[in-house]
Each structure stands twice: as structure tokens, then as C-alpha cells.
């Protein structure tokens, strides 16, 4: 019977005998776990050479010797010589060092699980009989897929300190939330949610998860920010895992910094899960590359609720792409500022309402006519406004997209 244990290799010496592709695959795992890896082999795989260049591993270019195991916590015998691997495994056992024998798992004192990480949980699958790497990877992948899709309840059963996880849920399409964000929802005892973002995901959380809606609209703020901060802290102080589900990215005009500050000030553990910001993703989804070679090489993202500030005006005048969030009510002021700065009336403008959702609508025009078009079509928030040549209709299908790069890239 093979027992399962989790080994903490952070900062500990791991010795790898052999410099081929098998060693390279295993070394990636050791490096990711924070081990100090030494590879001993006469010939070294190119992948291992790259690790050495980055300072991740130490290379010793000769055959393995017993003294190389001095100070090791873990050994991998992965040369192309089965007899030598068995010898290394015996050296390790005599020194009471855990060892994987890549030639014959039964001769080593350890086996490497097919593992994957999911937030605070790592799953590992082992063969307890004859080694079957393909089988254990298949089993691992099927379990991992369910965990990452939020199909398994990952809430803690044992009481512990509460915590807050700020999750950027993206622009609205639930498929655009990150894997870590989806995992966090599966860990939540309570969810404090915005009005925007991938709120459709809330139907997937268990019924006994507390859901608190603190969403705001441009003219209605039923729960002020200081009250949101208080809710997060109090729920965490009750020992709960609290997910703060926010639209876009928590730190892009999402007031995430204020919420993190409130948690830290109260001594509450807090994690931030970045999200896909609507400022970049929504234009991309409707065919607008916010930077495009030969068209725009710089980008400014700004809040537009008070119109165009000096930085935005200067950027538009310089031909940069400017993306306005929350700017629909100030559209005319934005246009006037751009024209006053000398921008051509033919400068393209695109407004994308409810980006990435089934209610998505794109309104296009120029600085000369976009205000009239927006009034006539009834443009409403939430919407992203893109000002710049990248917003021209059909840009990606034009010859401009094929502008040669002077560097030849």
C-alpha cells in the first residue's frame, strides 16, 4: 500500500540525476514548488539549460556521485541507465532520503502524483500498483475540470479565520471569469455582488450561500462604499469566506483598493483575483484592437463621468486610443473637449453597450456626429466609449492591418 503525503519542498535541496526530457518535466514541478534544484548529468536538455539561465536550477555537468546527495531532502533518479537509477535509489534509501526511481517506481521510496492546484486545495492522483502515468493524468484532469468549473462544493468544513476574496468577474459573459475566480465562488460562504459583471454565475452557488447585492447604478447608490467595506469585514470576522464579486477588474475603477484597505485595517486576510477589464475586452469582442501597429501605439483608459480630463484631452490630441468608462452622460463634453484640442471631426468613435452580453450593441460614428447618433439611438450605460482611429469600421479587414513592422516582427 502506498501512503499519500504532502511534502513541502520550499527552500529545500532536490537532486536530480539525469538531464533528459523526463528530468526536465519533473524539474518544472520542483521549481514551481520553490525547491532548490541541482541537476547532475553529463548532457543537459535545452529546457533545463533555460531554467539554469533564469537561475531556477544549478547544473553539474558530469555523472552522478553518491556525495551529490549530501544535504538533499529529495532525489529523482532519471538517467537513461536503469542500473544507475537503481543505484541512486539505493544511495538515497541508505541516507533516508525520499527518492523517485524513474525506471522502476517499485524500487524508489516515493512516487510523484499527477497533481493540480485549485486555490487552497491541491489534488494528487497516484498509481498504487504498476505505474500508469497516462491513467493517473486522465483521472486528475477529470477531477480538475469539475473543480475549475465550480461544479464541486469547495467550502471549508472546519472553522477557521475568515477571509475576503475580491474577484474580478469580467465584463459580463460568465465564460470570461478566470479559473481562480470560479474556484473562489465554489469556496464562498457569502457573496457580496455588484450589479455588473458575471452575475449570472450566482445561480450556480449552493442555496445556503448568503448573497448580498450592493450594486450601484449611475444615479442610484443604495449601499455606500463605507457600508460595503463594513459588510465585508463583519462577514469575515464571523469566520466566513467572503467573495466580493465585482465587474471587470477590482483595481480598474472598481474601488477594490478601498476594500482591500478596509480588510487590512481590520486584520482580515484578503486575496485579490484580477479580472478581465471591460476597458480592453469589450472593444476586442467587437473587433476593436485598442492598439494596432501603424494606427495607435499608446492607450489611455479613463473614467468619463465628468467628461474628458486634461490627460484624456492630450492623449486624443496626440492620436492615442482613449477608452472612457462611465462616460455616456458626458459624451457631448468629451466630444467638445476633443474638438477643442484640435482633433479631426473625422476621428472615429465607437460606443459599446452591455459588452459581452446578449444585450450588446455597438454604435459607431465620428466626433462630428456621434453625439447626434447616440441621442437618436438612445445609447444608455453601461457602455464603453472608444475614441481613436482603431475604432474605424472594418479596420482589421483593411490594408492597415498589414502595415509592416520596421523591426521585422
Active site residues: 194, 216
> Is 95:74 a contact under the CB 8 Å cutoff?
no
HEC string for 243-301? EEEECECCCCCCCHHHHHHHHHHCCCEEEEECCCCHHHHHHHHCCCCCCECCCECCEEE
> Is 196:172 a contact under the CB 8 Å cutoff?
yes
Angle, vertex CA 346, rays to CA 340 and CA 349, nearest 5 = 85
**DSSP summary character for residue 78:** -
Residue entry with cell 520596421: 406
- C-alpha dist (Å) from residue 315 to 153, 172, 326, 345: 47, 28, 18, 16
Q: How far is CA 150 from the centre of its chain?
A: 16
- Provide the b/e sequence for 325-364 (b: ≥16 CB within 10 Å): bbbbebbeebbebbeebebeeebbbbbbbbbbbeebbbbb
74: buried, middle or exposed (CB in 10 Å: 19+, 13-18, 0-12)?
buried
The torsion angles phi and psi of 20, rounded to 5 degrees, stand at: -95, -165
- Strand, coil or helix: 305: coil
DSSP for 29-48, please give it. Answer: HHHHTT-EEEEE-SS--HHH
Amino acid at each position: 500500500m502506498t501512503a499519500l503525503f504532502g511534502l513541502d519542498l520550499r527552500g529545500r535541496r532536490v537532486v536530480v540525476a539525469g538531464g533528459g526530457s523526463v528530468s526536465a518535466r519533473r524539474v518544472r514541478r520542483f521549481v514551481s514548488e520553490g525547491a532548490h534544484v541541482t541537476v547532475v548529468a553529463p548532457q543537459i536538455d535545452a529546457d533545463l539549460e533555460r531554467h539554469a539561465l533564469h537561475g531556477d536550477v544549478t547544473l553539474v555537468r558530469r555523472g552522478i556521485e553518491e556525495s551529490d546527495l549530501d544535504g538533499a531532502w529529495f532525489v529523482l533518479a532519471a538517467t537513461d541507465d536503469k542500473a544507475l537509477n537503481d543505484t541512486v535509489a539505493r544511495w538515497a534509501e541508505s541516507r533516508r532520503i525520499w527518492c523517485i526511481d524513474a525506471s522502476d517506481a517499485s524500487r524508489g521510496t516515493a512516487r510523484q502524483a499527477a497533481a493540480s492546484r485549485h486555490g487552497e486545495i491541491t489534488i494528487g492522483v497516484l498509481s498504487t500498483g504498476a505505474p500508469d502515468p497516462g491513467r493517473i493524468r486522465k483521472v486528475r484532469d477529470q477531477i480538475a475540470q469539475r473543480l475549475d468549473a465550480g461544479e464541486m462544493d469547495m467550502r471549508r468544513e472546519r472553522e477557521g479565520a475568515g477571509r475576503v476574496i475580491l474577484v474580478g468577474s469580467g465584463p459580463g459573459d460568465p465564460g470570461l471569469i478566470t479559473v481562480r475566480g470560479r474556484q473562489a465562488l465554489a469556496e464562498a460562504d457569502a457573496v457580496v455582488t455588484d450589479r455588473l459583471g458575471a452575475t449570472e454565475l450566482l445561480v450556480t452557488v449552493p442555496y445556503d450561500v448568503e448573497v448580498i447585492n450592493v450594486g450601484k447604478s449611475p444615479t442610484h447608490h443604495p449601499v455606500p462604499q463605507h457600508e460595503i467595506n463594513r459588510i465585508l469585514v463583519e462577514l469575515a470576522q464571523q469566520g466566513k469566506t467572503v467573495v466580493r464579486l465585482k465587474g471587470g477588474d477590482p483595481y480598474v475603477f472598481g474601488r477594490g483598493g478601498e476594500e482591500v484597505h478596509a480588510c487590512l485595517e481590520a486584520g482580515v486576510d484578503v486575496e485579490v483575483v484580477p479580472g478581465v477589464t471591460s476597458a480592453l475586452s469589450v472593444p476586442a469582442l467587437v473587433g476593436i484592437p485598442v492598439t494596432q501597429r501603424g494606427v495607435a501605439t499608446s492607450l489611455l483608459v479613463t473614467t468619463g463621468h465628468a467628461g474628458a480630463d486634461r490627460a484624456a484631452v492630450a492623449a486624443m490630441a496626440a492620436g492615442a486610443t482613449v477608452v472612457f468608462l462611465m462616460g455616456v452622460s458626458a459624451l457631448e463634453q468629451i466630444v467638445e473637449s476633443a474638438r477643442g484640442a484640435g482633433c479631426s471631426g473625422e476621428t472615429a468613435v465607437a460606443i459599446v453597450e452591455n459588452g459581452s452580453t446578449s444585450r450588446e450593441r455597438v454604435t459607431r460614428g465620428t466626433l462630428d456626429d456621434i453625439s447626434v447618433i447616440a441621442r437618436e439611438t438612445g445609447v444608455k450605460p453601461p457602455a464603453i466609449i472608444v475614441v481613436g482611429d482603431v475604432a474605424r469600421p472594418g479596420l482589421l479587414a483593411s490594408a492597415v492591418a498589414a502595415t509592416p513592422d520596421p523591426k521585422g516582427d
